[in-house]
Amino acid sequence: MASSSKTAGTPVFSAYYRYLLATAGFLVTLSLGTLYAWSIFIPHLEQEFGWTRAMVTIPFTVASLVFAFGMAPAGRIQDLKGPRPLLMVSAVLIFAGYGLSSLAHELWWIIITYGIIMGAAIATGYMSAVAAGLKWFPDMKGTATGILVGGFGASAAIFGPLVYYLNAEFGWRQTFIILGAIFAAIIAITSFVIKNPLPGWKPKGWDPTNVGGIRKHSPEYTGFEFPVKEMLKTREFWLMWTQYMLILTGGFGIIVHLKPMAMEFGGFSSAEATGLVVLIGLSNLAGRFVLSPLSDIIGRLKSFTIVGSLMMLATAFASLAVIFDAPWMLYFTAIVGGGAFGGYLALSPAFTADMWGMKNVGINYGAMFTAWGVASFAGPYSAGLLHDVTGSYVPAFFIFAFLCIPAILIARMLVKPFALKSYALNIGLERTESKG
Element (H, E) at 206: none
> Which structural domains are found in the chain, ordered by start?
5-201+210-435 (1.20.1250.20)
pLDDT at residue 222, rounded to an integer: 81
Position with higher pLDDT, 120 vs 79: 120
Q: Express each pLDDT in 343-360 by its tens digit.
A: 999 889 888 988 898 888
- For residues 51-64, average pLDDT: 88
- Count of beta carbons in the 10 Å neighbourhood of residue 281: 27
Q: Residues 206, 208, 214, 219: what is their CA dihedral angle, to the nearest 10 degrees?
A: 150
Q: Express each pLDDT in 197-239 by its tens digit.
A: 877 777 777 666 554 333 445 667 788 899 999 999 999 999 9
pLDDT at residue 217, rounded to an integer: 53
- For residues 165-177, average pLDDT: 91
- Residue-wise DSSP of 43-65: HHHHHHH---HHHHTHHHHHHHH
| Dist CA 37 CA 280 (whole Å) | 10
Q: Express each pLDDT in 94-151 by its tens digit.
A: 999 999 999 999 999 999 999 999 999 999 999 899 888 888 888 777 778 778 888 8
Range with the lowest mean pLDDT among 3-12, 68-77, 223-232? 3-12
**Distance of CA 43 to CAs 20, 40, 97, 370, 382, Å?**
39, 7, 21, 29, 18
- Residue-wise DSSP of 300-352: HHHHHHHHHHHHHHHHHHHHHHHHTT-THHHHHIIIIIHHHHHHHHHHHHHHH
- For residues 364-391, average pLDDT: 91
pLDDT at residue 98, rounded to an integer: 96
pLDDT at residue 155, rounded to an integer: 84
Residue 248 CB partners (closer than 8 Å, separation 6+): 341, 344, 345, 371, 372, 375, 376, 379
Coil, strand or helix: which one is 203?
Answer: coil
The strand pairing partners of 430, in sequence order, are 225
CA torsion sign for 381, 383, 385, 388 is: negative
Q: Residue 245 in contact with residue 378, Cβ under 8 Å?
A: yes
**Distance of CA 10 to CAs 3, 14, 253, Å?**
10, 6, 48
Q: Express each pLDDT in 34-44 by its tens digit.
A: 887 787 888 88
Residue 190 has pLDDT above 70, yes or no: yes
**How far apart, in Å, do the first and last CA atoms of the chain sit?**
6
What beta strand segments (E) does 48-193 contain? Answer: none
Q: Express each pLDDT in 264-320 by its tens digit.
A: 887 898 888 888 988 998 898 899 888 878 887 888 888 999 999 999 999 999 999
pLDDT at residue 145, rounded to an integer: 79
The strand pairing partners of 187, in sequence order, are none
pLDDT at residue 215, rounded to an integer: 42
Coil, strand or helix: which one is 68?
Answer: helix
- Residue-wise DSSP of 382-420: HHHHHHHHHS-SHHHHHHHHHHHHHHHHIIIII--HHHH
| Dist CA 353 CA 362 (whole Å) | 9
- For residues 248-255, average pLDDT: 95
- For residues 360-384, average pLDDT: 90
Q: Residue 309 in contact with residue 229, Cβ under 8 Å?
A: no
